[in-house]
Amino acid sequence: MAYVVDRRLNSKNKSLVNRQRFLKRYHEQIREAVSDAVSRRNITDMQRGDSITIPKRDISEPVFRHGQGGQREIVHPGNKEFIQGDRIQRPPGGGGGGSGSGEASDAGEGVDDFVFQISQSEFLEYLFEDLALPNMVKRQLVGSESFETHRAGFSEVGSPNQINIVRTMRSAQARRIALSGKARRRRREVLAELDKQDEEEPTDEDRLALEEELSRLNFRLNTVPFLDDFDLKYNLHVRVPKPSPKAVMFCVMDVSGSMTQDIKETAKRFFFLLYLFLQKNYEHIEVVFIRHHTQAQEVDEETFFYSRETGGTVVSSALTLMADIIEERYSPNEWNIYGAQASDGDNWQEDNQRCHKALVDGILPNVQYFTYIEIGDRDPQGLWHLYQHLEADYSDRFAIQRVRDNSEIYPVFRELFKKTMVVE
Amino acid sequence: MNKNYLSTSSEWTFETIEAYDREIARIARDKFRLDTYPNQIEIIRSDQMMDAYASIGMPVFYNHWSYGKHFVNVEQNYSRGRMGLAYEIVINSNPCIAYLMEENTLTMQALVIAHACYGHNSFFKGNYLFRSWTDAEAIVDYLLFAKNYIAQCEERYGVQAVELLLDSCHALMNYGVDRYKRPVPVSAAAEALRQQEREQYIQQHINDLWRTLPRKAQVDETIEIQKFPAESQENLLYFIEKNAPLLEGWQREIVRIVRKVAQYFYPQRQTQVMNEGWATFWHYTILNELYDEGLVNEGFMMEFLTSHTNVVMQPDFDSRYYSGINPYALGFAMMKDIRRICENPTDEDKRWFPDIAGSDWISTLDYVMRNYRDESFILQFMSPQIMRDFHFFALQDDDRRNVIDVTAIHNDEGYRLLRETLSQQYNLSSQEPDIQVESVNIRGDRSLTLYHHMHNRRPLSNDCYEMLRHVHRLWGYDVHLHSVETDGRRVRSYHLQEGRE
């Protein structure tokens, strides 16, 4: 007779440890696959998990096996036309085990690759591994909603609804033992003595003395209260200010005639990576899109990436607008501000001075980090030289990089947000 | 119409599962005289089934990245619908543990119970390989001991160190079995007790082997330099466990654990066709009996036969679904054929199988199940009928010739050769390269020499340097490997030097 056991409620994820060990062991390969995926994938897809493909030879577990060659005999089913003594031409490419083995898969993935899924959070984990947001410390403490209540032990004072019963009773019991222990012991002795005397018929004096002591002891014990004021213990809660979980990201892009759709696509990838990265670190993110040619305007995402404009380039217009918006809507006390600017580097020569001023006065003092990428394979343009000076002065919050094409976005992004060791 | 149906719905409940189990047990025991361990049927979810897959089906198992790899692979294929999970996993233990998936319909649960809990179970209990190589009483306890021991080692010596060691041991797992010497079963408790003594003892023993104290010169002259080991050793892991100079006590214990696990699975690798054939034959026979007794209806039978036919399908060699001979198909066909030979022998059968033709089929099958493994089973019991049904043909692929020869087909001249060839195909020792410890240079550089005894001139695969690296990691000194022809000629030599890892 069999026992039938329902194991469906047993813990799941029994293989979790093994899975993690596997991921750890092939950490490098997985990271490569992730960074491949970034340059291959559509941006809006970036938030999914992914199939990770590792060449099978990298993860094979070797055993002693026969190689090709020698003489081997094999039996197959399904003979239709062969008779004994037939000779069959060797199939091309195989001196191996005859037909049937090594057929290519039609699943789109070569049989030589080992494919498996990682989840979205694992994907982002690998994507942003070793990266850190600079200047995270400057999260401001503001407003009543950004407090959290934490338990903080026990207190002698408090309101009745906060009474901790266990602690209170424990303390009362300890007090009672401390105050009445001696008297209680004596009372036990006296009672025992009285019992003994009942049997032995003692003198009245002894008995009287004992009875007197007994009533004195009883009185003493009765005066010890069951619960006293200072037994009361209260749960203590403290309110801890919470760092602001809000961040705003400014995307600034040149849309003048010289910016081709390709360059914009590259910029978009960069912005998107930054957005995902911020999302990992902050609960709430707002994005402000500012585009500019000779004038700057705040637009929605669609217009930002896809509408076409022509004209010259005045970068300072965008920077001034960004500074204005910060002042108007995103108080640096409340918001963590990140700026990302993408451009092909063109600027009207006379404008550089104004850019410098706008950055130094209105932007850099207020932001956590400001990045600039220059896209294209031309020599560095005017803006680059200007920013190079600034990078030296504001190295903690200002960084610039050059990007040639899509495939460089991810490495450049890593470069910008590389975890820097704090040197004391 | 018979109203005694056990069920008419396809949803299972614990009551109906128990009802089916009761009836199946009755038929198996009373009618067909199947002798089984007690059963423990466990209902699990599909993700638990994937977990079970990843740890080679065992309820407890130590951690290793390779099981994680299997797991992500199964998970990927299953979630993409590229593969279905097995309906059941059954463990050779006492009581015999069978996992049933909750997704199965009632019919499938009945099929699985008949297949696993009475088919496989009786095979585990009866077959001589399982009886002599595995200890059903102790396996779960032993695996628990192994899991805890390895977890302790990970704490003490680091996950990395244990992982490297396990990698190497797993690589040699197929060479961790005594093929001829039968092991003595030890209970898990005794195992844990003996483990410490063994650790110390072996360590001393090893030191003795590599004694560095100068020996008396006189003795040296009289004794000839002995070869060590005196005879070739086929159990590489055993040899390493007992003799590797540099291993620590805990490392030897882990080698031993892997060796024990390998030994536990050794019979399964040799009885695939028989084991699956036996279980498939019995679920087929028992469920048909249920129908004959009027306990199940036609709907049940239709569903059962659909699954059954899928399981025993054998694609032809030129089909795109072909991936070798399906052990379920071959095993089932042969078991059924033996019954046929017993019950309705033809003249041909009487010529080929004079001793079983016309005998009692239940006891004949029982005898076959107890005393054979795939290789001998096929060699002994494959009838011309089966070869005709499967349209078997044998090929000979010789790298000295530029054509492949058809050496035998299913005709009178071919039957015997065909059967021999197929039987060899299930002979583990001709399928795996035969590698043995030849000698250790105990007076010199302590290098280990392995011989690969070639069979039909078949060479080792290219990744065998990878393998030598694993042997080297365990042995600690240089490793030589020579491919040797039957006449003793060395065809190819491999050498892994120290410091080249």
Q: Cα–Cα distance between A405 and B412 in angstroms, integer?
A: 71
Q: Measured between alpha carbons, how far is B266 from B274 in angstroms, rounded to an integer?
A: 14
Q: Which residue of A has its CA nearest to B428?
A: A65
* Closest residue on chain B to A51 (Cα): B76
pLDDT at residue B492 tops 70 = yes
Which residue of chain B is at minimal alpha-carbon distance from A19? B68
For chain B positions 2-21, those within 8 Å of chain A (CB to CB) are 14, 17-18, 21
Selected residue of A1, A73, A122 to mutate for chain B interface (largest B Cβ count, 10 A) = A73
Q: Are B91 and B58 in contact (CB under 8 A)?
A: yes
Name the pLDDT band for B259 (thresholds 50, 70, 90): very high
Is B314 an interface residue toward A (CB < 8 Å)? yes
Half-sphere exposure of B328 (CA within 13 A, CB side): 17
Residue of chain B whose Cα is closest to the Cα of A88: B404
- Label residue B282 exposed, middle or buried (CB < 10 Å: 0-12, 13-18, 19+): buried
Beta bridge partners of B479: B448, B496
Report the amino acid identity of residue B156: R
Most confident region among A211-225, A378-392, B87-101, B323-337 by mean pLDDT: B323-337
- pLDDT tens for B281-312 read 999 999 999 999 999 989 899 999 998 998 89
Q: Lowest mean pLDDT: which of A383-392, B119-128, B189-198, B269-278? A: B189-198
Terminus-to-terminus CA distance in chain A, angstroms? Answer: 72
Question: Quick check: B392 and A77 CB within 8 A?
Answer: yes
Is residue A224 classed as helix, strand or coil in its secondary structure?
Answer: coil
**Is the Cβ of A99 closer than 8 Å to some Cβ of chain B?**
yes
| Residues of B (93-132) whose Cβ lies below 8 Å from A | 95, 99, 102, 113, 117
Cα–Cα dist B482/B433, whole Å: 12
Residues 6+ apart with CB under 8 A from B358: B342, B345, B350
> pLDDT tens, position by position, for chain A (424 residues)?
678 888 887 776 778 888 888 888 888 888 888 777 776 666 556 566 667 777 776 777 888 888 888 888 889 999 988 888 888 887 765 444 433 333 333 333 334 577 777 777 787 778 777 777 665 544 444 444 566 788 888 888 888 888 999 999 999 999 988 888 888 888 888 888 888 877 776 677 777 888 888 888 888 888 888 888 888 989 888 877 666 667 888 888 888 777 777 888 888 888 888 888 877 777 778 888 888 888 888 888 778 877 777 777 888 888 889 988 988 888 887 788 888 888 887 777 778 888 888 888 888 888 888 888 888 877 777 788 888 888 888 877 888 888 887 778 888 888 877 765 443 3
**pLDDT of the residue at A116:** 79
pLDDT (mean) for B113-136: 91
The interface predicted TM-score (ipTM) is 0.81
The residue among B53, B135, B44 whose CA lies nearest residue B86 is B53
CATH code for the part of the protein at A246-416? 3.40.50.410
Do the beta carbons of residue B61 and residue B67 sit within 8 Å?
A: yes
Strands A336-343 and A246-254: parallel
- Looking at the complex, report in whole angstroms how far the Cα of residue B456 sits from the nearest Cα belonging to chain A: 5
Please state, as a whole number, how many other Cβ atoms lie within 10 Å of the Cβ of residue B229. 15
Residue of B nearest to A97 (CA): B397
One-letter amino acid for residue B116 of the chain: A
Q: Is B477 left (phi over 0), alpha (psi -120 to 50) or beta?
A: beta
| B40 vs A2, A74, A76: nearest CB | A2
Residues of B in contact with A85 (CB under 8 A): 405-406
The answer to whether the CB atoms of B163 and A84 lie below 8 A apart is: no
Nearest CA in chain A to B14: A4
Cβ-defined contact of A24 to B65 (cutoff 8 Å): yes
User: What mean pLDDT do residues B45-50 have?
Assistant: 83
Among residues A289, A292, A301, A287, the alpha carbon closest in space to that of A249 is found at: A287
How far, in Å, are A135, B24, B69, B464 from residue A54 at the CA level?
36, 47, 11, 22
CB proximity under 8 Å: B 49-88 to A: 50-51, 54-55, 63-69, 71-73, 75-76, 79, 82
What's the token pair of residue B325?
A: 């001979």
Could you tell me how far CA A375 lies from the centroid of its own chain? Answer: 30
Q: 3-state secondary structure string, B27-69? A: HHHHHCCCCCCCEEEEEECHHHHHHHHHCCCCCCCCCCHHHHH
| pLDDT of B248 strictly over 80 | yes
Q: How far is it, in rounded angstroms, from Cα A375 to Cα A381?
A: 11
- Reported confidence tier of residue B78, pLDDT bands at 50, 70, 90: confident
Q: B316–A77: do the CB atoms touch at under 8 Å? A: yes
Q: Side chain identity at A128, as an amino acid letter?
A: F
**β-strands B39-44, A369-375: how paired?**
unpaired
Identify the pLDDT of residue A98: 39
| B chain contacts of residue A70, beta-carbon cutoff 8 Å | 398-399, 454-459
A63, A103, A117, A122: best mutation site toward chain B, by most B Cβ within 10 Å? Answer: A63
Q: Which residues of A touch B424 (CB under 8 A)?
A: 73
Which residues in A lie closer than 8 A to residue B38 (C-beta atoms)?
Answer: 1-3
Contacts of B319 in chain A (CB under 8 A): 78
Average pLDDT score over residue span B172-182:
79
Confirm or reject contact between B463 and chain A (CB < 8 A): yes
Largest CA distance in chain B: 96
Q: CB of A148 within 8 A of CB of A141?
A: no
Q: Which residue of A has its CA nearest to B70?
A: A19
- Select the more confidently predicted residue: A266 or B35: B35
Quote the pLDDT of residue B182.
58
pLDDT band at B500 (very low <50, low <70, confident <90, very high): very low
Question: Which of A85-89, B192-196, B353-357, B490-494 has the weakest average pLDDT?
Answer: B192-196
pLDDT at residue number B84: 61
> Between B117, B395, B459, which is nearest A69 by CB?
B459
Please enumerate in sequence order all residues whose Cβ is within 8 A of that of B387, keeping only pairs 6 or more positions apart, or say none.
Answer: B410, B414, B415, B418, B419
Phi and psi of A117, rounded to 5°? -95, 140
Distance between B197 CA and the closest CA of chain A, angstroms:
31
Q: Compute the mean pLDDT over every residue in chain B, rounded to the nearest whole number.
A: 86
| B418, pLDDT greater than 90 | yes
Partner residue opposite B391 with nearest CB, options A79, A96, A99:
A79
Tell me which residue in A18, A74, A77 faces B65 most closely, judged by beta carbons.
A18
Distance of CA A169 to the CA centre of its chain: 43
Neighbouring residues of A215: CB distance < 8 A, sequence distance ≥ 6? none
**Any alpha helices (H) in A140-260, and if so which ranges?**
165-200, 204-223
* pTM metric for this prediction: 0.72
Write out pLDDT tens, residues B193-207. 777 677 766 666 555
Q: In A, residues 382-421, which contact B (CB 8 Å cutoff)?
A: none
Q: Is B215 helix (H, G, I), strand (E, B) or coil?
A: coil
Kindly indicate the confidence band of residue B81, based on its pLDDT and cuts at 50, 70 and 90. low
> Chain A within 8 Å of B334 (Cβ-Cβ)?
no
Residue of chain B minimizing CA distance to A4 = B41
Q: What are B70's two structure tokens?
A: 């299997």
**Nearest-neighbour CA in chain B from A34: distance (Å):** 17
What is residue A143's predicted lDDT score, i.e. its pLDDT?
42
Contacts of B167 in chain A (CB under 8 A): 61
Assess whether pLDDT exceeds 70 at residue B39.
Answer: yes
Q: Does B405 touch chain A (CB under 8 A)?
A: yes
Q: If you measure CA to CA, which chain B residue comes closest to A62? A: B171
Helix (H, G, I), strand (E, B) or coil at A289: strand
**What is the C-alpha separation between A2 and B114, in angstroms, rounded?**
12
| Percent share of chain B, pLDDT over 70 | 88
